[in-house]
Amino acid sequence: MTTNPEECKISIRKMEIADIDRVCEIDQISFSLPWPRSSFIFEVNNPAARAWVAEFQAGEKGHQIVGMIVTWLIVDELHIATLATDPACRQHKIAFKLMIHSLCSAAREGALKSLLEVRRSNQAARALYRKLGYIEDGVRLRYYQDNHEDALLMSLQKIDSNLLKSLV
């Protein structure tokens, strides 16, 4: 697989059961506390979940899943549950595109704002979220079980699809 963005086209589609092995692989290489396979299977069928995958489509070479996001739409709030990109494909704005797709899709379904938690040490993710308009507005002390790191609570108080689309 090539990771040159000029040679590949990224597409985003709904996650399917057939994607779970690759999604789990990305999750396991991305996080110290990956989700169990059963959680992704559950989310594919969860009516509140909006689960998406990003694929590189490289002409005759086919396609491969290079990123994923799971969100929950609860009344008018979109909660970002997990987001990961294959480390070999980072720096191609895959997570950024997944976030914009998720936010705009949820806005069409009535979402007005978005919430998430992020590790205090995850500077790259925090920068991505700030670029999208999220603000840090709380802390869950010692939230993560593996090292008791704090989780920062971030919110996007108004999902503005037009503004988000202009960022791409």
The verdict on residue 63 lying in a domain is yes
- One of 6, 60, 77, 129 is an active-site residue; which one? 129
Does some domain include residue 148?
yes
Q: Residue 41 falls within a domain, yes or no?
A: yes
Residue 77 is a catalytic residue: no
- 10 Cβ neighbours under 8 A, 6+ residues apart: 54, 55, 56, 57, 66, 92, 94, 97
Which is the catalytic residue, given 117, 136, 143, 144?
117
Q: pLDDT digits over 136-152, tens only?
A: 999 999 999 888 999 99
pTM confidence score: 0.90
Residue 129: inside a domain: yes
- How many domains does the chain contain in total? 1
- Residues 11-27 have a mean pLDDT of 97
Q: Give the mean model confidence (pLDDT) for residues 10-33.
A: 96
The Cα–Cα gap between 98 and 111 comes to 16
Instruction: Give the 3-state DSSP-derived string for 120-135, with helices as H, strands as E and coil as C.
Output: CCCHHHHHHHHHCCCE
* 125 inside domain: yes
Q: Quickly state the pLDDT bin for 60 (edges 50, 70, 90).
A: low
Query: CA-to-CA distance for 117 and 10, rounded, in angstroms?
Result: 26
> Greater confidence, 162 or 136?
136
Average pLDDT value for residue range 95-104: 96
Determine, yes or no, domain membership for 76.
yes
Q: CA-based angle 101:54:132, to the nearest 5?
A: 35
Domain that holds residue 14: 9-166
pLDDT of residue 6: 44
pLDDT: which is higher, 4 or 26: 26
**Chain mean pLDDT for the chain:** 91
CATH number at residue 161: 3.40.630.30
> Which residues, in sequence order, are CB contacts of 119 under 8 Å at separation 6+?
125, 144, 149, 150, 151, 152
In a domain, 110, yes or no: yes
